[in-house]
Amino acid sequence: MGLKSTITKEKLKSKSKAGIVLRPSTPEIKDDYIKIKGYFEKQNIEIFLEKNSANMIDEEGIDLDILCDTVDFLVSIGGDGTLISVVRRTFRSGKPVLGINLGTLGFLTDVSLNELESFLQNLSDDENYRIDSRMMIKGNANLKNFFAFNDIVISRNSLSSMIKVDAKIDGKPFNSYYGDGIIISSPTGSTAYNLSVGGPLVYPLTDAFIVTPVAPHSLTQRPLVLPADFEIEFTITDNQGAMVIVDGQDIYEVEQNQSIKIQIASKKAKLLHRKERNYFEVLNEKLQWGN
Ligand SMILES: NC(=O)c1ccc[n+]([C@@H]2O[C@H](COP(=O)([O-])OP(=O)(O)OC[C@H]3O[C@@H](n4cnc5c(N)ncnc54)[C@H](O)[C@@H]3O)[C@@H](O)[C@H]2O)c1
Ligand SMILES: Nc1ncnc2c1ncn2[C@@H]1O[C@H](COP(=O)(O)OP(=O)(O)OP(=O)(O)O)[C@@H](O)[C@H]1O
* Domain boundary assignment for the chain: 3-135+268-287, 137-264
For 15-19, 176-180, 229-233, which range has the lowest pLDDT when averaged over its residues? 15-19
Backbone torsions φ then ψ of 263, nearest 5 degrees: -150, 175
Q: Is the pLDDT of residue 11 over 90?
A: no
Lowest mean pLDDT among 49-63, 108-122, 181-195, 199-213: 108-122
- Cα 257 to Cα 113, 153, 183, 234, 254: the distances in Å are 49, 17, 19, 10, 9
132 is catalytic: no
Which range has the top average pLDDT, 14-23, 103-112, 254-263? 254-263
Architecture of the domain delimited by 3-135+268-287: 3-Layer(aba) Sandwich (3.40)
Give the pLDDT mean for 249-272. Answer: 97
Q: Is 236 left (phi over 0), alpha (psi -120 to 50) or beta?
A: beta
257 Cα to the center of ligand 2, angstroms: 33
Closest C-alpha among 253, 239, 223, 271 to residue 146: 253
Residue 212: closest CA among 242, 167, 268? 167
Q: Which residues line ligand 1 (CB under 6 A)?
A: 79-81, 84, 104-105, 107-108, 150-151, 188-189, 191-193, 196, 247-249
In this prediction, residue 192 has a pLDDT band, given cuts at 50, 70 and 90, of very high
Q: Which is catalytic among the residues 72, 80, 132, 238?
A: 80
Same fold, 3-135+268-287 and 137-264: no
- The pLDDT value given to residue 125: 76
pLDDT at 7: 52
pLDDT tens-digit profile of 99-158?
A: 999 989 999 998 999 999 999 998 877 778 999 999 999 999 999 999 999 999 999 988
Confidence check: pLDDT of 204 > 60: yes
Superfamily for 137-264?
Answer: Probable inorganic polyphosphate/atp-NAD kinase; domain 2 (2.60.200.30)
| pLDDT(263) > 70 | yes
